[in-house]
Structure 1
C-alpha cells in the first residue's frame, strides 16, 4: 500500500480497560487493531493457570471483549492481532472460531505458535544449549527449580505471513510486544526482511503504542499538564512505507499525545540504545521525536541493523509460597515501635520459613494535622519453600495476637481482613536460544502449517559505552529543588533489572542534566542501588539520561519481595529527590517559558 497503515492499540497489559475494544471500534478509522496482554509477571500467572488446566492459559476475557464486534470487523475489513493466546494460542483460536460461526461473521483466524519450548528443554540441554541466565551467566541446570513454563520471544514474521495468507485475526503467544505492530506494517508495505531501517521504524512505533494509554498521558510524570486525564484514550501509529511514523490518538478520546508522552515510552523498559528484536536491532539513539500538530508526534530517523542470532527465552518455575499482610503503626516513637514489632513477629519462626520481609512504608509527620498524617504502614511478607510451613506460621494469627501485648497505636485495616492463604511464588530465569533452534510457525483453520524461517542475516551487537560526565560547567546561581521540577522520568522492569529514563523538555536544560546525573549521583540519590551494578547511557536527541539498575528487582518481578514489585515507581521516587538546579532553569519552568 502507498499510504501509511493505521494501527490502533486496544490493550497494554492483562487487566487494561475492559471497554477498550468498544472505544477503539467507535473511534477514528484504522486498518489493524492490536492488543498486548503479556508482561513477564502475566506469563508467570498464566503459567500456573495453564499447568492446572491445559485447556486454559489464554486470556479469556479477550473473547468477551471482541465478540460483540465480530460482525463489524468483517464489514469494515479490519484486522486484529493479539498475543492473548498466552500459553494456548490454538485454544483461543478455536474458541474464536466458535464465536465467529455463531455470529455469522465469516472471519478467518490463524495462530502463531512455536514460542512454547518447555517440552524441548531436555532436547536443548542435549544439544549443548545451556540457557545461561542473562544476568548471572549460570546454566539453567544450576537453577534448582523445576521449570513450569518456557517461552521464546518470536518476531513479527509469522504475523505478516498470516495476514498475507488472508487471516483476519492473528492469535499469538509470546511474540515481542512491538512485533504486534511491526508484523502488520511489514505485511502492509511488503517490506523485505532486510529492510532494516523500515523495520526499525515499525518496531519503534510498536514500542510506543504497545502499552496503550501510556502514550496518551497515562503513567506520565507530567500528567498535571495533560488535559482530560480522567479517561485517556488508546494510541494509533500511522506507519509509512519508509518506516517513519506519526503517533496519534482517537480524536474523541481523552488524554494527549505530546513529544514528552512519546519520549516516556521510548525510554521505557529498555536496556540501552540498542533495542534488540528478533526481526531487527533498533538504534534508538538515532530516533528523532518532533511535534507534528495537535495530538500528533512524528518519529523519524530510526536506523536498524540485522537482529541478534539469539532470542530471549523466559523460563518460569515455582520457587515456593508467600503470604503477606499490612499493619499500621502510629507516631510517636515509630522507630522503637517497629523494632519491637519486628522482634515479636520474628520470634520462634516454624522450621521451613526461609524469609520474613518487614517493610516500613512512609514517614509520620512531625506535627500531624490528622491521624493519618501520624500513620506509617508496615508490610509483612513471609516466604517458604513448602506451603505447610506458612500454614503453620499462620501470619495473620501471629499479627492478630499482638494487639494486647505489643505497641500502642497498632492496628490493621478493619475493612480489609487479614489474609492467610499462601500463594505460589514464581521465579524467573531469562536466557537466550539461537533463533534457528526455535520453531516459528503459523497454523491456519484448515490445518495448514507454514514454517517461518529464522533470519538469514544476524549480527551480535553490544550496547555503546558512554563515559561519565566530567566536571560540570558553571551554570550560575543554584537552588535546591526536586529533580522533578525540571525533569520527567519513566521506569520499568526487565527481569531482575529496573530501568529508569530521565529527560528534560527544555533543550537548554540538557547540558545540566547530562553533567549532573552521573552514576555516582544516581547512587547518592537512590541508596537502594549503592551496591548494585548500574549502567548509564545518554540519548542526546531525546535529552535523556538512562540507567539500568541491575538486580534491584532480585531475579524478577514475579518473585522479588519488594512492595514496588516491578519498579514502576522508581522514576517518580528519583524525581522527588532534591538536588541543586540552576536558578535560570527553575525560573523558566515556573514562568511557563518551557513548552512540553
Structure 2
C-alpha cells in the first residue's frame, strides 16, 4: 500500500467494451494499490444472460479475461489488487477461466446476487435474470483474506472502490460517513474517463481530450478523497468534470446502497492542485432494509423502418405512408406501432440530404413472424405506390428480440451474500444490523430570490449551465449545474416542473422530480418513464438519454446579462 492513511484506487473500465488497453495503461502509468473495472449495466446483464442461454459456459465479460491474460503478471509484480464485476451472470465461470491462465494468483469469488431461481418465490415474477445489487463487505473480506483478484457478479458500481477501502482501513458497518465518502469516490470513478473530461459539456476548455486518462481515487481513512489521474495522461480532472460525474444517473439527495445511504447534499468539492479535486464532508445514513434487484426479461420482438421524405409536403407524405402502411398491415398488425417524424429538412436546401425528413415506424409484438415478415411485407409492397421520392435508409429486415428491465426489491437477508476464497472456503457476509427506510429528499426548498437587476438575453441554457444525463431503468436523469455562486439562485428558480415540461416537450405528460444540491450548485431532474421499459426496450431515439442533457442545454431561456461570462455579453 502507498501509505497507511491513503489508498489509491484506479479504474480501467466504465462499461463492457471500454478501452482494452486501459488496464495496461493504468498499471504502467504510475502508483496504484487497487485497480477496479466496471463492466456491467442493465443492458449488459440482458446480453450476458442471453449469451449464457446459448452457451452455459458464457455469461461473463470476455474482454476482462483477455486483459488479465495480458496484464495479470504485471499486476502481481507491482502488488496491485484487481477488483471487477466482470463475472456478469456467470462469475464462477470467469474464476475458473482466470485460474486456467496458469498464473500463481489468488482468486476470490463474491456470490449471492443471482436470485433468478428464486425470483418467483420472492415476488419478482419469472424474469430471464434477477440479480441483486450487493454491497462492498464481501469484496473487503476477499481482500483481507489475501485475494489478488476479486470477481463479482452484480454489485453496486461504487462497491468496487468501497470494498478495498473497507479492507484497508478496517471500517465497520457503523462507519457510515466514511462509507458514504468512499461511495462518492467510487461513483465518480466508476464510469472511467467520464471523470477526466469524457462527455463533458464544456469539452472545448480541455486542452488534450484525444486520449483521456482513466481516473484514480485517493481514499483517506475518514472517507474523504482526492480524484486524480496518472501524470502525463490526457483529459483533465477539474471541479467541473467531477461535478458532471457526481450528478450522473442519480435520483434525489439520498443515494441509496446496500451498505449506506449517501447524502449527496453534503458533498463538498474543491480544487486540490492540477488535475486533483478533493471530496469532503460527505455524510452517511443507515442503508434501506431492502436491496434493489435488476430483473431482465425478453419482452418480445422488435422491428424498425425509417423512410425518407424529401422536399415539399412532408407532413402530407408522412400521413399518406402511415395510412397506407397501417392498412397493409391490417390482419397481421403488430401489438404496438409507434411513429416518429423528425423534421430535419430545411427550405430551399442546397443538398438533398438537407431537404429530407425522416419518418420512423417501430413495431413490437410477442410473435416474431408478425414483427418480422408481416412488418417487412407491409413496408416493401408500398415501395412503388406511395409518396413521391419514396426510399428508406436501410431495407426492412428481420425482427430481433428486445429486452425489458424492471427493478425489484427484496429484504437484504434474501441476497445470500458469500465469499468463496481461493482455498475453497466459504464466508457468509451478514446483512447490515441497522437499516433505515428510504425517504425522498429533494434538497432544500428554493428560497425566494430577487431577480438579478438589469436586462436579460434569450440564449441557450448551456451558456451558463453544464449538464450530464443518463438512464435509471425506464427513468431519465439530467443533472444541471452552474459554476458561479451568483448563478445558482437563478438556476433554482428557473428549473421547476412546469419549466422542465416546457423545455422538454417529451416530458409534458410524465412525472418530473427535482432535487436541489446547493453545495455543488446543482439541480437534478428525473423524468419518470421517459425510456419506457428500459434501454433495451428502445422507447426513443436516444434510448439511454445520453444526449438529453445536451438537448436541454440547447433550449433558449432568459438569462440576466449580469450573469453572463464576459465573452457572451
TM-score (norm 2): 0.96
Residue aligning to 1:296: 276
Alpha-carbon distance change, 552 to 394 in structure 1, aligned in 2, over 3 angstroms: closer
Distance (Å, rounded) in 2 between the aligned partners of 1:419 and 1:348: 15
1:364 is aligned to 2:345: yes
Report Cα offsets for 1:358-405 as digits up to 9, x if no partner.
22234212342333222223333211111121233142x544444432
CA contact under 8 A between 1:468 and 1:518: conserved in structure 2? no
Deviates more, 1:402-411 or 1:208-217: 402-411
Residue aligning to 1:433: 410
Distance (Å, rounded) in 2 between the aligned partners of 1:222 and 1:409: 41
Unaligned stretches of 5+ residues in structure 1? 125-129, 132-139, 141-145, 592-596
> Aligned pairs, how many?
565
CA contact under 8 A between 2:332 and 2:374: conserved in structure 1? no
Residue aligning to 1:215: 195
Deviates more, 1:63-72 or 1:277-286: 63-72
Q: 1:504 aligned to 469, 474, 482, which one?
A: 482
Distance (Å, rounded) in 2 between the aligned partners of 1:161 and 1:551: 38
Report Cα offsets for 1:421-465 as digits up to 9, x if no partner.
221111122111110111001112332111111011111131224
Distance (Å, rounded) in 1 between the aligned partners of 2:437 and 2:349: 57
Shift of residue 585 of structure 1? 1.8
Residue aligning to 1:17: 19
Residue aligning to 1:106: 104
Q: Secondary structure at the match of 1:26?
A: helix
Shift of residue 589 of structure 1? 5.3
Alpha-carbon distance change, 367 to 300 in structure 1, aligned in 2, over 3 angstroms: farther
Q: 2:260 aligned to 271, 280, 283, which one?
A: 280
Q: 1:561 aligned to 522, 539, 543, which one?
A: 539
Deviates more, 1:175-184 or 1:68-77: 68-77
1:204 is aligned to 2:206: no
Which runs of at least 4 in structure 1 moved beyond 6 Å after TM superposition? none
Distance (Å, rounded) in 2 between the aligned partners of 1:329 and 1:254: 43
Residue aligning to 1:52: 54
- Superposed, 1:134-533 pairs within 5 Å as 140=125, 146-349=126-329, 350-351=331-332, 353-395=334-376, 397-413=377-393, 417-418=394-395, 420-465=397-442, 466-467=444-445, 470=448, 473-533=451-511
Distance (Å, rounded) in 1 between the aligned partners of 2:343 and 2:108: 50
Residue aligning to 1:67: 69
Alpha-carbon distance change, 379 to 24 in structure 1, aligned in 2, over 3 angstroms: farther
Report Cα offsets for 1:163-211 as digits up to 9, x if no partner.
0001000000000000001001111111122111111110000000000
CA contact under 8 A between 1:238 and 1:245: conserved in structure 2? yes
CA contact under 8 A between 1:469 and 1:518: conserved in structure 2? no
Alpha-carbon distance change, 290 to 409 in structure 1, aligned in 2, over 3 angstroms: farther
Alpha-carbon distance change, 180 to 22 in structure 1, aligned in 2, over 3 angstroms: same
Unaligned stretches of 5+ residues in structure 2? none
Q: Secondary structure at the match of 2:350?
A: coil
Shift of residue 22 of structure 1? 2.4
Alpha-carbon distance change, 122 to 406 in structure 1, aligned in 2, over 3 angstroms: closer
Q: Secondary structure at the match of 1:492?
A: strand
| CA RMSD across the alignment | 1.7
Deviates more, 1:322-331 or 1:531-540: 322-331
Distance (Å, rounded) in 2 between the aligned partners of 1:430 and 1:455: 21
TM-score (norm 1): 0.91
Distance (Å, rounded) in 2 between the aligned partners of 1:405 and 1:177: 53
CA contact under 8 A between 1:232 and 1:254: conserved in structure 2? yes
Residue aligning to 1:134: none
Shift of residue 552 of structure 1? 0.9
Q: Secondary structure at the match of 2:364?
A: strand
CA contact under 8 A between 1:181 and 1:206: conserved in structure 2? yes
